[in-house]
């Protein structure tokens, strides 16, 4: 297949490019490098891999045949999308429209990288795909949540109205090598702080929960979904649920750090709990995560040690 990956130089996108190239696909990676980096894909040059520096919120065109368009471009860390609210809204809305247009013109399959943030601060736990969510549209996080909700609606409209072959994957917190040390997410922050012996910054009381999926499991889920014919949204995440304080303690233990834990203010609209219901992924794809949090953290810590 010839596959276009937007956001292909980002954390998740670059692992996806690796997996596509490894299975013999040709990859065209489009990225404007606002949160992505050449370093994430430098090893792919010369291996059925083309890089195009472009912002997909503007018109997108790729010459030649294309079999699939995977729209993974967006700031994804709360710190990033709070700093780039308008770009985040644009890449989720205009970027999704442009990449859907590319897929339609090429007769290609389209996949949208969506998010558990469409569930907002969920009042149903764990979250099945059938849950409509509890999002504050005008709060600071709304720029990401609503962009992705619009993107899902636009994707379904292209599917229903144009008959486009579409996929929607809803990711839960994903971690692993190539996370940016300064991206502000909890796993990268805690590892960087622990390795430096700095205080671990727990926001709020640390009793809020997240469910952390290792990037290799996530990418395996993406490929399984791409190869399926499932048009409805699908959760891809690891149901292992931890409080943020538990995560801090595990990171301290695995790094052998002397760091203390300090509490800082909880960001506005920070979800109190999050856990994927992956029944549909299990039934439709035969997919489930294989990497336990501690094992994935060991690999991730190793990556950060060598930066």
Question: What is the set of active-site residues?
Answer: 144
- CA 7 centroid distance within chain: 10
Out of 189, 211, 238, 259, name the contact with ligand UDP by CB under 6 A.
189
User: Helix or strand or coil: residue 36?
Assistant: coil
**Toward ligand UDP, which CB reaches closer, 94 or 266?**
266
Chain residues 211-250 in contact with ligand UDP, contact rule CB under 6 A? 244
Nearest distance, CB of residue 149 and ligand UDP, angstroms: 15
Parallel, antiparallel, or unpaired for β 241-243 and 261-264? unpaired
Listed ranges 55-63, 129-137, 184-192, 220-228: which one lies at the site for ligand UDP (CB under 6 A): 184-192
Nearest distance, CB of residue 185 and ligand UDP, angstroms: 3
* Residue 173 found at the interface with ligand UDP (CB under 6 A): yes
**Toward ligand UDP, which CB reaches closer, 208 or 255?**
208
* Residue 186 found at the interface with ligand UDP (CB under 6 A): yes
Out of 131, 150, 203, 242, name the contact with ligand UDP by CB under 6 A.
203
- CA 37 centroid distance within chain: 16
Q: Classify residue 12 by burial, with Cβ atoms within 10 Å: 0-12, 13-18, 19+.
A: buried
Nearest distance, CB of residue 107 and ligand UDP, angstroms: 35
Listed ranges 87-95, 150-158, 231-239, 262-270: which one lies at the site for ligand UDP (CB under 6 A): 262-270
* Residue 78 found at the interface with ligand UDP (CB under 6 A): yes
User: With contacts defined by CB under 6 A, how many residues of the chain interact with ligand UDP?
Assistant: 15
Listed ranges 25-33, 67-75, 196-204, 285-293: which one lies at the site for ligand UDP (CB under 6 A): 196-204
**Toward ligand UDP, which CB reaches closer, 150 or 203?**
203
Task: Enter the tokens of residue 124.
Answer: 């149903």
Residue at token pair 């790094």: 255
Other residues' Cβ atoms within 10 Å of the Cβ of residue 46: 6
End-to-end CA distance of the chain: 34
Out of 201, 228, 243, 299, name the contact with ligand UDP by CB under 6 A.
201
Instruction: Find all residues with CB under 8 Å of 170, minimum gap 6, and list them.
Output: 114, 115, 116, 118, 129, 233, 234, 235, 236, 237, 276
Nearest distance, CB of residue 58 and ligand UDP, angstroms: 27
Other residues' Cβ atoms within 10 Å of the Cβ of residue 289: 24
Task: Enter the tokens of residue 85.
Answer: 């609210």
Nearest distance, CB of residue 15 and ligand UDP, angstroms: 17
* DSSP, residue by residue, 144-204: HHHHHHHHHHHHHHHHHHH---EEEEEE--EE-TT--TTS--HHHHHHHHHHHTPPEEEET
Nearest distance, CB of residue 173 and ligand UDP, angstroms: 5
* Residue 270 found at the interface with ligand UDP (CB under 6 A): yes
Task: Enter the tokens of residue 301.
Answer: 């810590």
Out of 2, 167, 185, 280, name the contact with ligand UDP by CB under 6 A.
185
* Residue 114 found at the interface with ligand UDP (CB under 6 A): no
User: Helix or strand or coil: residue 273?
Assistant: coil
The residue ranges that bind ligand UDP (CB under 6 A) are: 77-78, 173, 185-186, 189, 201-203, 208, 210, 244, 266-267, 270
């Amino acid at each position: 297949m010839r596959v276009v990956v937007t956001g292909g130089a980002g954390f998740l996108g670059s692992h996806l490019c690796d997996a596509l190239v490894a299975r013999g696909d040709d990859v065209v990676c489009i990225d404007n490098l606002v949160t992505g980096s050449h370093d994430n894909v430098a090893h792919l040059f010369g291996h059925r891999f083309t890089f195009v520096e472009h912002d997909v919120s503007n018109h997108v065109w790729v010459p030649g045949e294309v079999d699939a368009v995977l729209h993974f471009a967006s700031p994804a860390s709360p710190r990033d999308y709070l700093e780039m609210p308008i770009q985040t809204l644009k890449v989720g809305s205009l970027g999704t429209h442009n990449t859907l247009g590319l897929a339609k013109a090429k007769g290609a399959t389209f996949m949208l990288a969506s998010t558990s943030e469409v569930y907002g601060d969920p009042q149903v736990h764990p979250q099945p795909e059938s849950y409509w969510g509890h999002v504050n549209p005008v709060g600071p996080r709304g720029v990401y949540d609503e962009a992705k909700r619009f993107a899902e609606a636009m994707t379904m409209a292209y599917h229903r109205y144009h008959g486009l072959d579409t996929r929607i994957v809803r990711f839960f917190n994903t971690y692993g090598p190539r996370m940016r040390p300064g991206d502000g997410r909890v796993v990268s922050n805690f590892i960087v702080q622990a390795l430096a012996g700095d205080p671990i910054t727990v926001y709020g009381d640390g009793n809020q929960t997240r469910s952390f999926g290792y990037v290799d499991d996530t990418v395996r889920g993406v490929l399984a979904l791409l190869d399926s014919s499932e048009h409805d949204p699908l959760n891809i995440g690891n149901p292992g649920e931890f409080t943020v304080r538990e995560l801090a303690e595990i990171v301290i233990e695995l790094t052998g750090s002397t760091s203390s834990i300090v509490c800082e203010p909880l960001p506005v609209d920070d979800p109190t709990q999050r856990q994927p219901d992956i029944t549909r992924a299990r039934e439709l794809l035969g997919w489930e995560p294989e990497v336990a949090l501690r094992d994935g953290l060991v690999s991730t810590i190793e990556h950060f040690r060598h930066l």
